[in-house]
Amino acid sequence: MIDTHEPALDAAPAARFDTLPLDPKLLRAVADSGYLTMTPIQAKAIPIVLEGRDVMGAAQTGTGKTAAFSIPLLQRMLKHENPSVSPARHPVRALVLAPTRELADQVAENVKKYAKHTHLRSTVVFGGIDMKPQTLQLKAGVEVLIATPGRLLDHIEAKNCVLNQVEYVVLDEADRMLDIGFLPDLQRILSYLPKARQTLLFSATFSPEIKRLAQSYLQDPILVETARPNQTASTVEQRFYGVTDDDKRGVIRQILRDRSIRQAIVFGNSKLGVARLARSFERDGLRTAALHGDKSQDERLKSLDAFKRGEVDLLVATDVAARGLDIADLPAVFNFDVPFNAEDYVHRIGRTGRAGASGLAVTLVTRADTRLVADIEKLIKRKIEVEPFEVEGERPRFESRRRREEAPVEEEAPAPRVSRPSFRPVAPSADPFFDKPYESSERVEPAAWEKGKPTSPAPKGLSAYIKPKRQVAALFGGKPKAPAESA
């Protein structure tokens, strides 16, 4: 049975971190990060996690779910803290599973930031890069392991890590892990863990499949909700513009120029389309980077770091960037393609308007996207108004027939005559022999070895209609034989 922890209806003042029963080392790290007050999901989830209860945390993206589970778990693991250099004194005690490499790397950065004043070790493992550096870190001993399911199974099969002392498990963005087919991997990983453990699920959305997963692997969990499931942030301005495929790039350039937007993420549905779109924006003079699954992990991390440092204007990405990317003060997100999955829309626009800041989310809609827009309406439970958008400086591509007929006909000046170069006649050939037509030779001469020889009559006993064998030239000095006569 799942207990429900209802959110408070009154606007109570935000709780401060220093009111929690946390170790001074953690409070110091939180203060160094610039955090004073807790977000709603943190204020409701952290005390429950500190009590040792299983939790299902539902909150919209960008509300601080990572801190909601990492800070209390670090507090509970401080009893195992020790400065020993022996790997045996630092077994894996907390396992955090994330669906994408970018999200796993983001969680690992936050965990290291919160644990920097302690002796607790942490590392992250994900695919796309060499396993050897990850193996060295695992064998050196870590208390907190953040991983993607596929790469973790690789290390388990290679016996690089032992999970028999895990006390805490976190499934971050569990709905996404189910969407991309990680359920068999999750079941295998959870089978390696001790039965007595504390399990946490944190996600922006909860489907019926997620609730069935929670009933299988969580023990009497408490459901913590700080917003209606699949609700978008109120700080994000959502606009839907009806355009054609040919005008999409021009619409984005015009909005960037009119609103003086310096940075934005542009989402596409396909890896090939994202790569082509990034090259097109690059030709338009914008500093652009592409982020999709066909790029190596090193290239993806470099593109993301360049975007965070402000060296890139547009980050054109697939849905691998829709979750887990925490980019401070990102002003806008563009949906170049309407997402096939309506829940991905919530995660895409969640990259902007984070931590109470305002943001803009623009979705470009064509006539073929009617069904996908209806799915988004059904998910977020609000009516979507698709507005027309006229690209400045361009004539509309489609006009009604009546409008064209009612338009005054203007006489157009005749087009200037273009002078064409005259062609020179073909000069006659120098040798008249090559200008003569082909003439076949009616005279057929016999072979050289048959010249001067009388034609022999047909052998006796043979029909006159059977020709005798022709004599051919002998090879290598041999003499031709006379035809044999029949008896």
The per-residue pLDDT for 427 is 56
Residue type, 156: I
Count of beta carbons in the 10 Å neighbourhood of residue 37? 13
Residue 82 has pLDDT above 80, yes or no: yes
Average pLDDT, the chain: 80
Residue 395 has pLDDT above 50, yes or no: no
Q: What is the mean pLDDT of residues 26-35?
A: 90
Query: Could you give the percent of the chain with pLDDT greater than 90?
Result: 41
Residue 454 has pLDDT above 90, yes or no: no
Q: What is the pTM of this model?
A: 0.61
Model confidence at 2, pLDDT cuts 50, 70, 90, reads very low
Measured between alpha carbons, how far is 137 from 157 in angstroms, rounded to an integer?
17
The per-residue pLDDT for 100 is 85
Measured between alpha carbons, how far is 252 from 354 in angstroms, rounded to an integer?
22
Query: Could you give the percent of the chain with pLDDT greater than 70?
Result: 73
- DSSP label at 37? B
Helix, strand or coil, per DSSP, at residue 55:
strand
Model confidence at 458, pLDDT cuts 50, 70, 90, reads low
The per-residue pLDDT for 381 is 83
Measured between alpha carbons, how far is 364 from 337 in angstroms, rounded to an integer?
7
Measured between alpha carbons, how far is 78 from 328 in angstroms, rounded to an integer?
30
Backbone dihedral angles phi then psi of residue 128, each to the nearest 5 degrees: 90, -10
CB neighbour class for 92 (10 Å; exposed up to 12, middle 13-18, buried from 19): buried
Residue 23 has pLDDT above 60, yes or no: yes
* C-alpha dist (Å) from residue 263 to 192, 333, 334, 458: 44, 9, 11, 102
Residue 346 has pLDDT above 70, yes or no: yes
Q: What is the mean pLDDT of residues 290-305?
A: 80
Residue 403 has pLDDT above 50, yes or no: no
The per-residue pLDDT for 266 is 93
Q: List Cβ neighbours of 83 (8 Å cut-off, separation of 6 or more).
A: 119
Pick the most confident of 165-169, 283-287, 379-383, 398-402: 165-169
Helix, strand or coil, per DSSP, at residue 187:
helix
Residue type, 289: A
Residue 107 has pLDDT above 50, yes or no: yes
The per-residue pLDDT for 144 is 96
Residue 428 has pLDDT above 60, yes or no: no
Pick the most confident of 7-11, 42-46, 177-181: 42-46
Beta bridge partners of 239: 362
Domains and CATH numbers, the chain: 3-225 (3.40.50.300), 236-391 (3.40.50.300)
Tokens of 479: 């003499």
Q: What is the mean pLDDT of residues 148-164?
A: 93
Residue 270 has pLDDT above 50, yes or no: yes
* C-alpha dist (Å) from residue 295 to 274, 289, 310: 11, 11, 21
CA 338 to chain centre: 15
pLDDT greater at residue 258 or residue 463? 258
Tokens of 344: 């991905």
Residue 15 has pLDDT above 50, yes or no: yes
The per-residue pLDDT for 178 is 81
Residue 138 has pLDDT above 90, yes or no: yes
Residue 484 has pLDDT above 70, yes or no: no
pLDDT greater at residue 169 or residue 471? 169
Residue 95 has pLDDT above 60, yes or no: yes
